[in-house]
Structure 1
Amino acid sequence: MPGRPPVELTAAARLWLRVLVALCALFVVQGVSWCVFGSFDPFGIWDTMAARTLFGQGELPPEAARFGRLLVVPLGATSAGFFALAALVLWRGVGREGRAWIVDAFAVGFAVWFLVDSLFCAAIGAWFNVLWVNLPALVLVAIPTALLRRALGQVLASEDAVST
């Protein structure tokens, strides 16, 4: 099934697409690092904050640390897979065909993660995760996503004007 003919993206759309794909690649590396290190960060900062929040002590109990390593691996693999897929679909679907709905789908998927993760972290009192992980990730992703979507809207509007 042939795709839509190639669309000429503006310089702004190309820039924000590259930034977003690069961020996706960074999140792939991050997900793989969770699997390799068995932790969300190699320095133990997240583990220390979790230990203080959940157990009222400076480090996780050995059983909790072992269980945490078990959970981090599938989370890292899932995160790496999601962002690898997102990078490919964004690059091909937006970069070659200017399909703005792909950016919308990516934004919705990311927003669902942010809302669900943040709400459940808040429910158990893990505000450190919302503040140190979720909000920075949201800012990093939301800005180029919104700017790419705006730039694509301009590209598609000018194409519609030319074709009519």
Structure 2
Amino acid sequence: MHVYTLKNWQHDHDFAVKSEKGEQRARAVLIITALTMIVEIIAGSLFGSMALLADGWHMGTHVAAFMMVLYAYRYARNHADDPSFTFGTGKVSVLGGFASSVALLVVAFVMGLESILRMIKPEEIQFNKAIGVAVLGLFVNIACAFILKRPHHH
């Protein structure tokens, strides 16, 4: 008779149950990122800084990505027990990541065109004012990374 068991090495794969804290962190980062995006786009326009504009629009893609993540959390939670999802609802986040990367490509294309136009017709950049906003953006990115960081245990 077989007396060994794998129970000690098995773990639960119901990811929707444990997502509440992740959802709260994503919501907080969404708000912080959206506010920083607005500041960077306005400052980039006022100070003539293509770098701030690009970072502001890049943060816009992060805002869209976090909105997709929040939707994915909600969708996965609402359909966690739905038998029509044979392998669960995990692919919702993969589709969200794909959509986010497509949006980032569109922003990169638009920023590339704008950069070419600025090489043809340069604009004056107010570096002293723009650098403060750029540093703020850096600190926001670092803060958001710490907010989203979580210990991984499997």
For the aligned pair, the TM-score class normalised by the smaller chain equals 0.3 to 0.5
Going by fraction, where is helix more abundant, 1 or 2?
1
- TM-score, structure 1 as length reference: 0.40
Of structures 1 and 2, the one with the larger relative CO (CA 8 A, separation 6+) is 1
User: Between Structure 1 and Structure 2, whose CA radius of gyration is higher?
Assistant: 2
